[in-house]
Amino acid sequence: MTAFNVVRMRVKPGNEEAYLKSHRDRVLEGMDGMRSLNVIKTGDREFCVIGEWDSMEALAAARPAMIATLDTFRDRLEDLGPGLGVTDPVSGEVVLQRRP
Tell me the pLDDT tens digit for each residue of 8-66.
Answer: 999 999 999 999 998 888 777 788 999 999 999 999 999 999 999 999 999 999 999 99
pTM: 0.90
Q: With residue 64 as reference, give the H or E element that holds it.
A: helix 63-71
Alpha-carbon distance 13 to 77, whole Å? 9
Q: Which residues contact 27 (CB under 8 A, 6 or more apart)?
A: none
> Is the distance from CB of 19 to CB of 73 less than 8 angstroms?
yes
pLDDT at 22: 87
Asked whether 28 and 11 are in contact (CB, 8 A), the reply is no
- Tell me how far apart the alpha carbons of residues 59 and 61 are, in angstroms, rounded to a whole number: 5
* pLDDT score for 87: 95
The more confident residue out of 23 and 91 is 91
